[in-house]
Amino acid sequence: MVYSTGGSMASASASQLRSLFAHILVYSEVSNPLALWEKHWEMMSDDIPLRAAASLKMPKLHINKDDLHNYVLYEVEILLNQCGRTLGDFALPSLPDDLLLDLANRLIMEERNYDRESLNEELSHLESKMNVKQRRIYELIRDSSSNNRTELLFVYGHGGTGKTFLWKAIITCLRAKGKIVLAVASSSITSLLLPLGRTAHSRFKLPIDLTDESMCNINKNTQMAKLLESTDLIVWDEAPMNNNRCFEALDRSLRDILGKKNSPFGGKSMILGGDFKQTLPFHKKGKKSTIVRSYITSSYLWQEFKVFVLTENMRLMQPWLTPSEKERNSAFSAWLLDIENGEVGTRDLEDPVNSNWVKIPNTYCVPDDDDGLANLISFIYPPETLQNPSATELQQKAIVFPKNDAADTINKMVVDMVGGHVTTYASYDTATPQGNDGGESELLYPT
- Residue 111 inside a domain? The answer is no
pLDDT the model gives residue 1: 45
Banded model confidence at residue 435, pLDDT cuts 50, 70, 90: low
Supply the pLDDT for residue 8: 53
Which is nearest to 386 in space by CA: 371, 405, 367, 399?
399
Banded model confidence at residue 366, pLDDT cuts 50, 70, 90: confident
Domain identity same for 305 and 446: no
Choose from 162-166, 294-298, 377-381 the range with maximum mean pLDDT: 162-166
CATH code of 292's domain: 3.40.50.300
* pLDDT reading at 14 higher than 80: yes
Residue 308 sits in the same domain as residue 417: no
In a domain, 110, yes or no: no
pLDDT at 265 over 90: yes
pLDDT of residue 32: 92
Indicate if 166 and 194 belong to the same structural domain: yes
Give the residue-averaged pLDDT of 153-179: 91
Residue 181 has pLDDT above 90, yes or no: yes
Residue 343 lies in a domain: no
pLDDT of amino acid 9 = 56
Q: Residue 2 has what pLDDT?
A: 45
Residue 295 in any domain: the answer is yes
**Is residue 42 in some structural domain?**
yes
Residues 6+ apart with CB under 8 A from 312: 131, 133, 161, 162
155 and 191 housed in the same domain:
yes
| Mean pLDDT in residue range 373-400 | 84
Cα gap 206→236, rounded to integer Å: 14
Tell whether 147 and 96 lie within a shared domain.
no
- 387-407 mean pLDDT: 83
User: How many CA atoms lie less than 13 Å away from 17 in the CB half-sphere?
Assistant: 21
Instruction: Return the bridge partners of 78, or none.
Output: none
Task: Please tell me which of 143-157, 197-211, 330-344, 368-382 the model is most confident about, judged by mean pLDDT.
Answer: 143-157
In this structure, are 254 and 181 located in the same domain?
yes
Same domain flag for 211 and 178: yes
Mean predicted lDDT score pLDDT of the chain: 84
**Rounded distance between C-alpha atoms, residue 132 and residue 149, angstroms:** 22
Give the domain-ending residue among 46, 78, 104: 104
Q: Which domain holds residue 71?
A: 2-104
The dihedral region occupied by 253, where left means phi > 0, alpha psi between -120 and 50, and beta the remainder, is: alpha
Quick check: 154 pLDDT over 90?
A: yes
Q: Is the pLDDT reported for residue 7 higher than 60?
A: no
Q: State the total domains in the chain.
A: 3
Render 347-408 in DSSP notation, one character per residue: E-TTSTTT-EE-PPPGGG----STTHHHHHHHHHS-HHHHHS--HHHHTT-----SSHHHHH
Q: 287-314: per-residue pLDDT in tens?
A: 777 777 888 899 999 999 999 999 888 7
Residue 27 lies in a domain: yes
Q: What is the pLDDT of residues 44-93, one digit of tens each?
A: 888 877 877 776 666 777 777 777 888 888 888 888 888 888 888 898 88
Residue 422's pLDDT is what? 82
Let me know whether 77 and 214 are in one domain.
no
Last residue of a domain, one of 47, 70, 104: 104
| Residue 337 falls inside a structural domain | no
Q: How far is CA 100 from CA 74, 91, 182, in A?
A: 9, 21, 22
What is the pLDDT averaged over residues 378-399?
Answer: 83
| 374 and 308 within one domain | no
Statement to judge: residues 37 and 89 lie in one domain? yes
pLDDT at 308: 95
What are the backbone dihedrals phi and psi of residue 123, each rounded to the nearest 5 degrees, phi first? Answer: -65, -40
pLDDT of 309: 93
Q: Which of 57, 80, 270, 33 is nearest to 167 (CA)?
A: 270
Residues 83 and 136 in one domain: no
pLDDT at 443 over 70: no
Q: Is pLDDT at 143 greater than 80 in this prediction?
A: yes
Q: List, for residues 103-139, the tens digit of each pLDDT value.
A: 667 788 788 878 888 899 999 999 999 999 999 999 9
Last residue of a domain, one of 104, 128, 151: 104
Residue 109 inside a domain? The answer is: no
* Residues 79 and 214 grouped into a single domain: no
Residue 286 has pLDDT above 80, yes or no: no
The residue-averaged pLDDT of 162-189 equals: 91
Query: Is the CB of residue 380 less than 8 Å from the CB of residue 397?
Result: yes
pLDDT at 10 > cutoff 80: no
